[in-house]
């Protein structure tokens, strides 16, 4: 039973480009969460999604960031027109019932140059 | 404003001794706490949790203590082993059950042989 799969593991983008981060939850999990970790900081909640629904996006920046979890396929975190301050590790987690203690993926490390 | 603080960025402990990691929180409204362990280039791994109906929860070498009046919790690891060297994050549920977590900044634990 594969864990939460995130790809790519590392992503380098130039300022102004778009970044797409993908997350495949564990089998049987229908709840996905995205967190961001800036250097030397803790993880910050961004968004919570169920299939085809955004449940809580209170941690998402108002502009340039969007997330989706379609009926089929992985969850996507999309960052448009990236800036250097977007450089961070982005972690996805999933759970079967929307409860705590969920499972994290290994993260995508985004570097904006 | 809900905050979770881990005031010690790092801790060094001798193998076989007890490691004590501390965490303070500001908002008593949410009463479920979790500890995660994180190795470099990996996602956080759930360790142990506690809800406010208890003041102690134990799982093998790991024990979490909750002091509600002081808004403080701690993680005890005994005996400490080299494989325990990692960054430890304290987290508090942030509403809607534990679907959204508020993390501390983390404490880097180093176990010395």
The answer to whether B97 contacts A99, with C-beta atoms less than 8 Å apart, is yes
State yes or no: pLDDT of A2 exceeds 90.
no
Q: Does B37 touch chain A (CB under 8 A)?
A: no
For residue A39, the chain B residue with the least C-alpha distance is B105
pLDDT of residue B96: 57
Q: What is the pLDDT of residues B74-90, one digit of tens each?
A: 999 999 999 999 999 99
Residues in chain B within 8 Å Cβ distance of A95: 99
The answer to whether B46 contacts A55, with C-beta atoms less than 8 Å apart, is no
Q: Assess contact for A64 and A9: CB atoms under 8 A.
A: no
- Token pair of B56, please? 């102690």
The answer to whether A104 contacts B45, with C-beta atoms less than 8 Å apart, is yes
Lowest mean pLDDT among A30-34, B12-16, B98-102: B98-102
Percent of chain B whose predicted confidence (pLDDT) is above 90: 81
User: Can you say whether residue A92 is alpha, beta or left, with left for phi > 0 and alpha for psi between -120 and 50 degrees?
Assistant: beta
pLDDT of residue B97: 53
Q: Assess contact for A71 and A53: CB atoms under 8 A.
A: no
Nearest CA to CA, how far is B67 from chain A (Å)?
21
User: B15-35: string of b/e by CB count within 10 Å (b at 16+)?
Assistant: eeeebbbbbbbeeeebebbbb
Q: What is the pLDDT of residues A73-89, one digit of tens each?
A: 999 999 999 999 999 99
State yes or no: pLDDT of B4 exceeds 80.
yes
């Amino acid at each position: 039973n594969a864990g939460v799969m995130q790809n790519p593991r590392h992503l380098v983008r130039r300022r102004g480009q778009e970044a797409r981060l993908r997350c495949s939850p564990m089998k049987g999990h229908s709840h996905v969460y995205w967190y961001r970790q800036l250097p030397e900081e803790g993880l910050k909640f961004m968004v919570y999604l169920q299939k085809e629904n955004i449940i809580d996006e209170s941690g998402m920046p108002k502009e340039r960031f969007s997330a989706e979890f379609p009926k089929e396929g992985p969850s996507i975190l999309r960052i448009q027109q990236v800036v250097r301050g977007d450089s961070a590790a982005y972690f996805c987690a999933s759970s079967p019932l929307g409860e705590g203690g969920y499972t994290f993926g290994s993260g995508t490390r985004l570097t904006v140059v | 404003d809900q905050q979770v603080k881990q005031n010690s960025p790092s801790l060094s402990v001798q193998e076989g001794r007890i490691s004590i990691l501390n965490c303070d929180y500001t908002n008593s409204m949410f009463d479920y706490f979790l500890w995660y362990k994180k190795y470099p280039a990996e996602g956080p791994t759930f360790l142990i949790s506690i809800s406010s109906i208890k003041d102690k929860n134990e799982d093998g070498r790991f024990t979490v203590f909750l002091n509600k009046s002081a808004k403080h919790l701690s993680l005890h690891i005994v005996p400490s082993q080299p494989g325990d060297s990692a960054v430890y994050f304290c987290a508090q549920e942030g509403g809607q059950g534990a679907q959204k977590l508020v993390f501390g900044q983390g404490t880097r634990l180093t176990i010395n042989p």
